[in-house]
Structure 1
Amino acid sequence: MRALLTIVGFLLACVAHAQPTVALVLTGGGARGISQIGVLKELEKAGIVPDIIVGSSFGAIVGGLYAAGYTPTQIDSIFHTIDWDDVTSFSSDTQRESLFYSQKQENDRSLVTFRFRNLDFVPPTAIGGSARFSELLQEVLWQSPYNSVTNFDSLVCTFRAVATDLGTGQPVSLKSGNLATAMRASATFPLRYAPVRWNTDTVLVDGGLVANIPIDAAIALKPDIIILVNTTSDYATISSLTTPWAVADQALTAAMKQRDSEHVKLADFVLEPDLGSTGTFDFNDIDILIRAGEMEGARMAAQIKARLKPTSGAMEAGAAQYFIKSVVVHSTFGADTMALVKERITDMIGRDWSPQFKRYHQPRFNESLHRSGHALAFVRSMGYDGPSQTLTIDVDLGIPTLLTFDRLEELRRSDIEREVSIKTGKEVRQTDLERTWQNMHASDVLQNADVMVSRNADSGVRITMRAEDRGNQTIRIGARIDNERYTQGSVDIIHENLFSTGIRVAVRGILSQRIGQISASLELPRIGGTLWTASLRGYSSFRDVWIYQDEAGRPATEPMPQRIDEYSEDRYGFRLSAGRQLERNGVLLGEFRYEQQRYRDLTADADPSFQPLATLRAVARWDDRDQTDFASRGRTIDLTAESSILSLSNSLSFTKFTAAASAVVDLGSVVLTPGASIGAADRTLPSPELFSLGGQDMFFGWREDQQRGRQIVVGNVDARIKLPLRIFFDSYVSLRYDIGAIWENPENIRIGDMNHGLGLTVGIDTPVGPARFSVGRSFFFLDDPAAIGWGPVLLYFAIGARL
């Protein structure tokens, strides 16, 4: 009976203390919306805490993070850690590290990709992809205190994200589902990001199209007071409309302005930070934007506070009976023994129980659980017992009890299931969620992948994986121009999952003046959904090789290489390989090769006949770099051992070994990339199998293939910095030192034969691939007489990916 009276008294006190329900409306405005963080800081400082947040476009991002349990200060920190140039760039947004090794090779050389579904073209719905933007929101929200809440009324405060329904042209107020997806839908700028498929019948884009000031969605929730933070942009000057997205933004601004003025009048308080001429995509001055919001929030706080005075002091008068004397935590995993949780419990004791107490401390308690290593643990209930003055907290570890698969189009459950790194009955780490999300987005058959965690009614959570069919046919186009191979083009035609067997059929072609290839392959990328793989590839190719010789009569210290001849390496045959992929970044393979090959002089009157060659080769490769040309992390390893099969190679016997490795070390302002490679073979190694040394990628001061032989040693160190000024796109300068030598036969090897190279490169990360412009020179040391020899200064350029 005493407990019942305590509860009744508590409820009556709350009613007596009732304050008006406050709705905070956050508008769009792109980067200008960052100032909303400053407004939130000042409102909280003044004790003004919203009961409802309604956000549209960028306002949905700020509001969603706040509703998910982040404090304004934490949101400030999050925004400072985001690489906004990366999020808003138009380059490929597939994380390279999440691709399988063979996918990396295809993706690296692809400039344009066209997708088809049963031979019907699937047009892209945006200029750029949405994966980077989606992953950013999802990762941040998986770390949030309310990472498993899918009912937006059950967040820190009631939350609504307003988006535009493309089917009806009407605003949609999203109130449940994956919070990250709802926020992304509200902020999906048309053409820049792909629309969000919310369900089978609904496709959503930026809420700012029809409700840039989403006041109607707030009114529908019947608050007593509406506070509007208006960060919408004014019209840009004509001189600033220099990009397609700037023009699109201006067009949207014009469409929205007429409605905005009417909506502003419906708010009780309007806060408009002074943001000057800050543009929608101007993320360079985050501190200035937040400060502008703080100034506006501080200016209006007193006026708003005056409207929020409680009707009675009853709560304060009886506060002593809600004093928290002790805290009891119920859990199955000893939550109350964890250091961070114990700190939180200590902070709770001695405070007064109230709805405001629960609103603040429950997300902080969840945060302590997550920081203690339990990514999905949460407070299932928090209650106060008056007679004992005890706060009781029930904690759920968040073990997944069910995995569900929501698939659209022609997908099979196994297409999604094989990408999942989560198991029922086992605690989930955030890395498991992230890996599953990345795997699904890197799949060749899935698109618009989504991973949603939601709480069960009794205990644990369920995790829903959702995806659409990407299309089963792909055409990839590649292009490159450089000073050695001139203009080159490539095409890959791929059919995924032939007859739902998991077999992949691919045809590939490369053509230029000095290199060419045509190949067809049957591949089993993941046999039975495992990491085992196999492939059969037939091919025919040619590769022209210049033959160099030093100009006669020049001093030994001033060599001048001259082209004296040109040969072609011609071959056709097939390769059968099988092995196992090493997670997503490496592969172990055994390979049988049988081909006909010849090494012919292009100036000779008659061509030599083809000679048979059969070999067995073992391969171990690893590549976890984030990029190929301007990597900031990762390493590469390439090991091969190959031996000919005497009976199938016209009695030709040889053995060949290669080893290469590199590592990317980010020192902050400088990125170092040391690397080394060696190769060794018998003196019987045929000419088409020779090693080559030289070129922009391998050895500065020498031309590609300038030296050829059967033994090779190369080492290099590259130091790269990112330029503060962009040459239209992200730009870099690098300095590389090379050391190496190549010998015809093992008995010729001498350490004194080592050559050295120095080169300077300006690199630009363009939408058509890396553009690199280099100057390099080689040098070497002479013994008798002691001197330094210098090769000629050479210029290099390459635009596009390596094919």
Structure 2
Amino acid sequence: MNKSKYLLLFISFLLNYNYSISQENKLQNNSSKNKLKIGLVLSGGGTRGFSHLGVLKVLEENNIPIDLIIGTSMGSVVGGLYSAGYSVDELHNILNTTNWNEILSFTDITDRRSVFFDQKQNFDRKQLTIRFDGLAPVIPSSFTSGQRMSTFINRLVLNSIYRPSPSFDNLKIPFRTVATDLISGKRVVIDKGNLSEAIRASISVPLLYTTVKLDSFELTDGGLLSNIPVEVAKDLGMDIIIAVDATSPLRNKNQLNAPWEVADQLIGIMVQQANSISLSKASVVIKPNLDNFISWESRDVNKIVQSGAIATEEKIQLIKSLLLPETVLNKESITNNNSSQQIIKNYSIQGNNLITNLEVYSIFNSILNTPYDKDKLTFYIEKLLNLCRKKGLTLAMIDSSYFNETTNTLNIILDEGTIDEIILVGKRNTRSWVINRELPFKSGDMFTYDKALQGISNLYATNYFNQVFIDAYYEGTTSKIIVTTTEKESQRINLSIRMDNERQLRPLIDIRDENFLGAALEIGGTAILGQRDFNTILEIKSHRFLDSYYNFSIRGFYEQQDFYTYSNDSTFKIENQFSRIKEKELRTINEGISFTFGRQMEKFGNVNIGYTIENNKFNFLPNSKTEEDAQYGVFHISSFIDNRDKYPYSTEGSVFNFTYETSHRINSEGKGYSRIFFEFEQIQKIYKSIVYHPHLIFGSADKTLPYNKQFYLGGEISFIGLRENDSRGRQLFSLRNELSVKLPFTILFDTYLLARYDLGKVWPTRESLKLKDFYHGF
């Protein structure tokens, strides 16, 4: 009988004291029926919106309770993150440590190290890209997709304590963000779903960042229609509305140079009257003194934040005068009537596997021998969840908490966050398995912050998507990971052009479908139509075959190049120096088909084996008499590693290339050839902007190596001081030493100072190799 009694008592307390942060938040917001509801409206204004943080700080210090936050543009960023549980100090630190010039950049550069080795060559090439929807060219709607901004917001939301599930009312403070629908021209108030996506939609500056597709909406900057959305607060039943105006004044004549500055001015003109009307409806208007700051200027975050605090201090007495006495919180007076006499003697935490007992002890030990109080418990639970977030447990939540009055024990059940369901949103042509294979997690796995960021990086690096978001939340007891993608058109044409004094004019056109049939197959062709080069390639390849890391390619090629041969100038008599003169002009032609199969080594390299059937021939110009014509079957094995951070002007990383070829003759008698090539380079930053770059090349082949396949030395990249393809041979040694310094000023572009010393030589045979023959170049 006693056991049944205690069991019923336990169940009763479990039902009465079952507790989660989002449930408690609703309790607090609805606990006082007569309390005036206070809404905080945060305007747009670019980086001037950092001043909102100073406003929040002063309101906190004066115990002004906020029932709802509504944000537009930068107000959405600050308000959304604050509502999600970030403290003022945490947000201030984020603002101070973020490289805003990079986040707000108009360029969208994928991290070179996040793409597969096969893709790096195309990644390094500077080119104009035109995408097609069928046969119709797709005109870009913005300068950039804004993925840098999207990822910045996404990672902060993923690491926040509170989660929409999916309503934004479940955040620490209920939140709304305002955007503009380009299709209907109407204001859209977002109150649920992916918080990252909602914030990103509100900050999508027209022409600069792509719109965010949400349901049937094409969402862009909320400031177009409602830069200070006071009306939204009124519509949602707020009694007192505090509006913060961080909007920018109109630019002066000297600030209207770039197209986006003119666009910003036009928007400013259009919303002036609407801003004035909105402000007239607010109970209190806080306008920080930001005369010395313009939108998107982040040179002094602390001063911008301080200006918000100063402006709020000036209005704090007015705010208090509008409130009922019980509306201003006196935190010391908050008690829990149900358990006011109960003292916490023990606590029990269950479900912690990655969080150690010692870490739990450091948080909850100070709660022992204190009265049980739900508001105090919220503080400790937030500390526990904050620890979970620091350990990367993005989905960690409090499954339940209850206080056992019989044993005076506080019981907390922690769910560290395993994945129940992965939902793909936004995909059109790309197969689900292509997206899933790029995600470093699956159902049943523990979901972590690092895995989420890796998934975003992997998906964006495929070049199949304009935008990628990953969201995590609970719907009931089911944990859901939402992967939202916006696809690019996969058919595209790349155009580029190069001109130099060696190869002269070389236009390039590359036509391909990068995601053929949505199955991550790449099919296309490249042509170089130069004055001294005529090269064409047709190929089909896969960087990852199905769900594996194996790759393959089939390519047909035709390569025609014209070269000069050089010899020493016998009339040049300066000791220890030499001069080279043109001797003959020749044309080499390689054509054939190649089959390659290999395996990716993560994103930094690969190992391949292959077989090529090719025809090699050359003749001297201007006559067309063929000097050599031979068909070979070539077996080749190679290994490549390239983890440079960027190209050119890398600051760190290394390159390794090893290739071995052996061949047999197909169309005539004669021997095949064997050829080995080795290359290694290391890029090392030795002091700030000073980079040291050694580069070693070694090649060796037998006497049967045909002219077309011989090693060469000379040219801007190969050997400084020698003309391109100055020397050819079957044995090669080259050592390059380069020191580069990035200058503190730019001449139109980033400017570098280079010092370089080259040592090298090619020889026709191993027997002729002599150290005294080495060339020196600097």
TM over 0.5: yes
Task: Map Cα deviations across residues 478-497 of structure 1 (whole Å, 9 max, x no partner).
Answer: 22233432332211111355
What is the one-letter code of the residue matched to 1:178?
N
> Who is 2:279 aligned against?
264
Q: Which residue of 2 aligns with 1:102?
A: 118
Partner residue in 2 for 1:677: 697
What secondary structure is seen at the aligned counterpart in 2 of 1:543? Answer: strand
Q: 1:288 aligns with which of 292, 303, 308?
A: 303
CA distance in 1, matches of 2:755, 2:296: 33
Of residues 462, 467, 489 in structure 2, which corresponds to 1:471? 489
Give the alignment partner of residue 723 of structure 2, picking from 691, 703, 708. 703
In the alignment, is the contact (CA less than 8 A) between 2:612 and 2:635 conserved in 1? yes
Match of 1:25 in 2: 41
CA distance in 2, matches of 1:56, 1:115: 32
Q: Which TM-score applies when normalising by structure 1?
A: 0.86
Q: How does 1:1-400 map to 2 (within 5 A)?
A: 20-146=36-162, 149-199=165-215, 201-305=216-320, 307=322, 309-310=325-326, 316=333, 321=340, 325-326=344-345, 328-334=347-353, 337-349=356-368, 357=376, 360-383=379-402, 390-400=409-419
Partner of 1:440: 459
Q: Does the residue aligned with 1:279 lie in a helix, a strand or coil?
A: coil
| Range with bigger deviation, 504-513 or 250-259 | 504-513
Change (3 A) 1:424 1:219: same
1:585 and 2:585 aligned: no
Aligned residue in 1 for 2:650: 631
Question: What is the deviation of 1:259?
Answer: 0.5
The answer to whether the 8 Å contact 2:151/2:469 transfers is no
d(CA) in 1 for partners of 2:96, 2:701: 53
| Deviation of the 1:658 alpha carbon | 1.5
Which residue does the alignment assign to 1:519? 537
Give, in angstroms, the shift of residue 696 of structure 1: 2.8
Which of 744, 756, 762 pairs up with 1:742? 762
1:231 Cα offset (Å): 0.9
Moved more, 726-735 or 178-187: 726-735
Letter in 1 for 2:207: L
Q: Shift of residue 420 of structure 1?
A: 2.4
The AA in structure 1 aligned to 2:115 is L
Q: Are 1:553 and 2:577 counterparts?
A: no
Note closer, same or farther for the CA distance 1:16–1:443 as it changes in structure 2 (3 Å cut).
closer
What residue is the counterpart of 2:5 in the other structure? none
Q: Does the Cα contact within 8 Å between 1:139 and 1:434 map onto a contact in 2?
A: yes
- Residue 727 in structure 1 maps to residue 747 in structure 2: yes
Structure 2 distance, partners of 1:463, 1:352, is 38
Superposition map of 1:414-433 within 5 A:
414-433=433-452
1:5/1:155 CA distance change after superposition, 3 Å: closer
Note closer, same or farther for the CA distance 1:153–1:647 as it changes in structure 2 (3 Å cut).
Answer: same
The verdict on how the C-alpha distance between 1:43 and 1:737 changes in structure 2, with shifts beyond 3 A counting, is farther
Question: 2: distance between equivalents of 1:178 and 1:124?
Answer: 25
Cα distance change on mapping 1:303 and 1:754 into 2, 3 Å: farther
Q: Paired residue for 1:595?
A: 614
Aligned to 2:523: 505
1:528/1:372 CA distance change after superposition, 3 Å: closer
**Residue ranges of structure 1 left out of the alignment (5+ in a row):** 758-777, 779-803
2:540/2:553 contact within 8 Å kept: yes
Q: How far does the alpha carbon of each residue in 1:559-579 deviate from its partner, in whole angstroms, 9 at most, with x for none?
A: 233333333222111111112
Would you say 1:535 and 2:553 are equivalent positions?
Answer: yes
Aligned-residue offset at 1:29: 0.8
In structure 2, the CA distance between the partners of 1:363 and 1:727, relative to structure 1 (3 Å rule), is farther
> Which 10-residue stretch deviates more, 126-135 or 94-103?
94-103
Question: What's the C-alpha RMSD, in Å, of the aligned pairs?
Answer: 3.3
Does the 8 Å contact 1:340/1:372 carry over to 2? no
| 2:567 aligned with 1:544 | no
Unaligned runs of 5+ in 2: 1-8, 18-23
- Aligned residue in 2 for 1:786: none
Matched position secondary structure for 1:662: strand
User: What is the match of residue 462 of structure 1?
Assistant: 480
Greater CA deviation, 548-557 or 50-59?
A: 548-557
**Paired residue secondary structure (1:365):** helix
Deviation (angstroms), 1:659: 1.9
The structural deviation recorded for 1:649 is: 6.8
Matched residues in 2 for 1:4 and 1:147: separation? 23
2:633 corresponds in structure 1 to: 614
Maintained 8 Å contact 1:341/1:369: no
Spell out, residue by residue over 1:219-276, the C-alpha distance to the aligned partner (whole angstroms, 9 max, x if none).
2332332222211000111121111111111111111111001111222222222222
- Report the secondary structure of 2:577's partner residue: coil
* Shift in CA distance, 77/740, structure 1 to aligned 2, threshold 3 Å: farther
Segment of structure 1 superposing worse, 419-428 or 498-507: 498-507
Partner deviation per Cα, 1:622-675 (whole Å, 9 max, x = no partner): 223332113344432222111112456742332211222334444544344443
Amino acid at match of 1:493: I
Contact 1:93 1:129 in 2 (8 A): no
* Residue identity in the other structure for 1:448: Q
Aligned partner letter, 1:366: L
Shift of 1:12: 12
Identify if the C-alpha distance between structure 1 residues 458 and 262 changes in structure 2 by more than 3 Å, giving closer, same or farther. Answer: same
CA contact (8 A) 2:44 2:247 kept: yes
- Partners of 1:718 and 1:572 lie apart in 2 by 36
Check 1:755–1:90 CA distance in 2 against 1; reply closer, same or farther (3 A cut): farther
User: Hey, what's the Cα distance between the residues in 2 that align with 1:388 and 1:433?
Assistant: 41
The alpha carbon displacement at 1:23 in A equals 2.1
- Helix, strand or coil: the match of 1:40? helix
Instruction: Kindly indicate whether the alpha-carbon contact (under 8 Å) linking 1:340 and 1:369 is maintained by their aligned counterparts in 2.
Output: no
Residue 422 of structure 1 deviates from its aligned partner by 1.3
Is 1:643 matched up with 2:662? yes
Query: Any conservation in 2 of the 1:6–1:386 contact (CA below 8 Å)?
Result: no
Q: Which region of structure 1 is more displaced relative to structure 2, 184-193 or 269-278? A: 269-278
Q: Which moved more, 1:84-93 or 1:131-140?
A: 84-93
Alpha carbons 1:612, 1:650 under 8 Å: kept: no
1:450 aligns with 2:453: no
Q: Partner of 1:688 in structure 2? A: 708
The whole-number CA distance in structure 2 between the counterparts of 1:391 and 1:591 is 66
Determine if contact 2:351/2:413 at 8 Å carries over to the other structure.
Answer: no
Q: Secondary structure at the match of 1:194?
A: coil
Q: 1:668 to 1:649 in 2, by over 3 A?
A: farther
Closer, same or farther: CA 756–21 of 1 in aligned 2, 3 Å: farther
Does the 8 Å contact 1:365/1:379 carry over to 2? no
Greater mean deviation of Cα atoms: 364-373 or 302-311? 302-311
